Amino acid sequence: MDNKAKWIVTTEKDYWTNKEIMYITEENINADIIINENTCYQTMDKTPWGGCFADKGYMAMEKLGKDKKREIINSLFSDDGLGFTTARLPLGNSDFSDTHKSYNENDNDYTMENFSIAPDEAYLLPYIKMALETRPGITFFATPWSPPSWMKHSHSIHGIDDNNKIVFQPDILEAYARYFTRYIKEYEKQGIHIGAITPQNEPTMNTLYSSCVWTGEELNIFIRDYFYPAMEQAGIYNTKIWLGTFTDSNAALAIPALEDTQTNKIIDAVCFQWWGSYLAKAVQKGYGKKIIQSETKCGDGKNNWSYAEEQFDCFKEFLEAGATRYYIWNMVLDEKGENTANPPWHQNAPVIVDSKTSQITFCPSYYLTKHFSHLIKGDAKRIDVQGNYIGADIIAFKNPGGEIITEIKNGSGENIKPVINICGRILKPEIQAHSINTFIV
């Protein structure tokens, strides 16, 4: 039996330090924290960790040579990097598209005769295909931020008033369902299989970037009476329908579809982000649905250490709520991190490419993410953590091969010395102030 555990430490000054720590052999020692592999919670998906593609990610890399682009893509998707195995795609538009757009801006084209994914050819498709060269088995799900403008009361992709919603009448809803099926088939022609679709990103948000407001009952009716029948009519049986994505814990958005026995059978999972963990936990417990964390908090464009610590809290919050997949937001941005709103919202990414110098920076949040995505494998089980220690935030997993992965953040300003019992093996590390740590037993 090995008498040492592996220990990986990330701080603001040293992003990735590999260490070892001896087990404590003294008897009758009382542990502050106990990790118990015999009590298990959710099992992570086979493809549990990913990020979100957007035009502006590839635009940030556009000036780089092929080798530098490949370095970034490998840092995200290779086994030596973050090891991402899944990704979220914008269906038509997002707030990090190159412009406000959709796949069909031809008014009243209910048959989708003029539908085209050509708007994705400049940036999004090359970005996705580079990732597939590194990781051929990426699973994808897609989400629209807005329907085509002619389907909305506002006749605009974005909006902040009461008209920023779909025209809820049969001909529009049938056309929108057909819009989704055309997307799935056109992407399939590109060698990109869409494994799941959610009908709307953040359906409560009126924003200066692409958005659309829906009620829970509208989402239920659209899925049940339009989207699912359109999928069947188009012969699409290998793309799942997920409910969401929900940015808060407003139960009125999710309950109508979950309580409808017909729609409930259609929905394979429910997607939550930002402030949605409370409702996610309730949905998992009350309805037994798979929980997807679909977009982590996006920050303020500073890409600093405090954001990395906040991201640890986000991971822990949603994983404890039962999430089996976790998606960071933008994977790559330039140093400005501006979305399409006016004025823009500056946001974060783990990899930054300076638009003037082409310098590539791997931010603290890159290494925070690596503690989870590189070390906790598909089909890992979240296991029980008992006890507490001031300053320590803890979550633990058991990998399929038997490794116990214990993640600890010390968010305090002082070093701490907790006694940790990891499945019968005792550690007494001195954990640095403001550090993120993984112990592998």
Q: What percent of the chain has pLDDT over 90?
A: 96
pLDDT band at 439 (very low <50, low <70, confident <90, very high): very high
Q: What is the pLDDT of residue 70?
A: 98
pLDDT tens by residue, 63-80:
999 999 999 999 999 999
Q: What is the pLDDT of residue 28?
A: 81
Angle at 246 between CA 242 and CA 252, to 5 degrees: 100
pLDDT tens by residue, 373-430:
999 999 999 999 999 899 999 999 999 999 999 999 999 999 999 999 999 999 999 9
Query: Which pair of tokens denotes residue 380?
Result: 């890992």
**Amino acid residing at 167:** V
Would you say residue 1 has pLDDT above 80?
Answer: no
Angle at 318 between CA 313 and CA 319, to 5 degrees: 95
Q: Nearest CA to 90 among 138, 144, 38, 32? A: 144
The SS3 call for residue 6 is strand
Q: How close are the terminal C-alpha atoms of the chain, in Å?
A: 11
pLDDT tens by residue, 157-181:
998 899 999 999 999 999 999 999 9
Q: What is the pLDDT of residue 26?
A: 81
State the Cα–Cα distance between residues 209 and 90, nearest whole angstrom. Answer: 13
Q: What is the pLDDT of residue 291?
A: 97
Angle at 218 between CA 164 and CA 89, to 5 degrees: 70
pLDDT tens by residue, 341-372:
999 999 999 999 999 999 999 999 999 999 99
Domain assignments of the chain as residue spans, ordered by start = 4-42+381-440, 45-373
pLDDT tens by residue, 407-417:
999 999 999 99
pLDDT tens by residue, 38-54:
999 999 999 999 999 99
Q: What is the pLDDT of residue 248?
A: 86
Q: What is the pLDDT of residue 388?
A: 87
State the Cα–Cα distance between residues 373 and 368, nearest whole angstrom. Answer: 9
Query: Which pair of tokens denotes residue 226?
Result: 């339009």
Would you say residue 27 has pLDDT above 80?
Answer: no
- What is 4-42+381-440's CATH number, 2.102.10.10, 3.40.50.2000, 2.60.40.1180, 3.60.60.10? 2.60.40.1180
State the Cα–Cα distance between residues 338 and 300, nearest whole angstrom. Answer: 10
pLDDT tens by residue, 259-294:
999 999 999 999 999 999 999 999 999 999 999 999
Angle at 156 between CA 294 and CA 112, to 5 degrees: 80
Gyration radius of the chain's alpha carbons: 22
Class of domain 45-373: alpha beta
> Please, what is the average pLDDT of the chain?
96
